[in-house]
Amino acid sequence: MNRKFSGFLAIAVIFSLSGCMGSSQPVPPDNYYRLRVDAPTNHTEQPSLPGVLSIAALGGDGLVSARALLFTDQDKSHAVRQHNYHFWADSPTRLLQTELVSYMRQRGIAISVVTPQMRVRADYELVGKIKRLERILGKSSSHVVVELDLAVIRQSDRRLIMGDTYVVEIESRDESVQSSVAALNVALGQVFRSFSGALDQTAQTARR
């Protein structure tokens, strides 16, 4: 009797486990995103920086530099959380460096735009820090916010040419992550445009 009972018990356990496994939800796949800023609509006829501009990877503290996309609840704005299945293709600090280099080259902001990896002697250095790069989820709509510290330093005497904090918040088309990424790209474009425009103004003032 004990052997029969043990056999029935083993069969029951197998069926129970197979039922649990069959009802479990599949794990969602990981998704990866790039930061892509549109090319500038205007080109500087005379470079604002008469020399070589080096752009290093931006700084970023804690979660901001991690690859997982960040979001906050509109009702709990002080709580920052990471998405489980949505990641940047690389660290945001390096993705932003790549986009800044491309944008500044196309904008004609300097005679040449390089990165430190090229080991070229630069006349100017663009430094920056990512303070916020996240989704803001609300009950009826979602937004994104970008906050960057950006500055240009002259290498010869370490003089600050210009620097400022840029904050842009715009509404996403819908509540999907894909729409938020698209909105973040638009917001970054606005920051780049404001920063390069301010640099142009600073250069024009210096020439007078």
119: three-class secondary structure by DSSP: coil
Instruction: State the DSSP H helix or E strand holding residue 170, giving kind and residue range, or none if neither.
Output: strand 159-171
Model pLDDT, residue 13? 46
Domain boundaries, the chain: 28-207
Model pLDDT, residue 62? 93
The span from the CA of 83 to the CA of 70, in Å, is 6
pTM value?
0.85
Q: What is the chain's percent helix, strand, coil content, to nearest 5?
A: 35, 35, 25
The span from the CA of 60 to the CA of 158, in Å, is 22
Fold of the CATH domain 28-207: Rossmann fold (3.40.50)
Model pLDDT, residue 43? 86
The span from the CA of 207 to the CA of 45, in Å, is 14
Tell me the DSSP string of 48-89: SEEEEEEEPPPEE-GGGGSSEEEEEETTEEEEEEEEEEEEES
- Of 55, 79, 64, residue with least CA distance to 195: 55
Q: Per residue of the chain (208 residues), give pLDDT as tens.
A: 455 545 555 555 444 544 444 556 788 899 999 999 999 998 888 899 999 999 999 999 999 999 999 999 987 767 899 999 999 999 999 999 999 999 999 999 999 999 999 999 999 999 999 999 999 998 778 999 999 999 999 999 999 999 999 999 999 999 999 999 999 999 999 999 999 999 999 887 766 5
Q: Provide the β-strand partners of residue 60.
A: 130
Q: Cα–chain-centroid distance for residue 169?
A: 14
